[in-house]
Amino acid sequence: MTVIINGTVDFKPEDAVAVLKDAAELMAATRQQTGCRHYVWSLDPAVPGRVYVYENWESVADLAAHLAGHFYTDMVQVLGRYEMLATDILKYRIDHAEPVYDDQGVPRADFFSG
């Protein structure tokens, strides 16, 4: 079952770019972990200081291994160098996924493949 981590972390606007620069190598290394499909933190161009968090893990076990390992604790150390003003991060279990576009290239909001 796929697990998605999604949310935001707000930093002082002058710190947000530095946070991402300091964490860039760690993000790249985390992507090499077993089961990690995507792992990215990125700036919101419309809200100064806001960073979006997006992670996609193949399973709960893969996420658990990440949270128990040094990549997670290393990220906590990087973030600890900066003041986090607010956080809103949730995890989601995904039991069904399919393309947004159907076979004819039409974007669909409904789930059309069962």
CATH number of the domain enclosing 48: 3.30.70.100
pLDDT at 8 over 80: yes
Note the pLDDT of residue 24. Answer: 97
Note the pLDDT of residue 112. Answer: 84
Number of compact structural domains in the chain: 1
Q: Is residue 108 part of a domain?
A: no
CA Rg value for the chain: 16
Q: Is residue 37 part of a domain?
A: yes
Q: Is residue 85 part of a domain?
A: yes
Q: Please provide the average confidence, as pLDDT, over all residues in the chain.
A: 96
Quote the CA–CA distance of 99 and 97 in Å, as a whole number.
7
Q: Is residue 112 part of a domain?
A: no
| Rounded average pLDDT over 44-68 | 98
Domain range enclosing 57: 2-94
Q: How far apart are the first and last CA of the chain?
A: 17
Note the pLDDT of residue 113. Answer: 79
Of 74, 78, 73, the C-alpha closest to 51 is: 78
Q: Is residue 46 part of a domain?
A: yes
Helices (H), 31-100: 60-68, 70-79
- What percentage of the chain exceeds 90 in pLDDT? 92
Note the pLDDT of residue 106. Answer: 94
Residue 90 pairs with which residues in a beta bridge?
A: 6
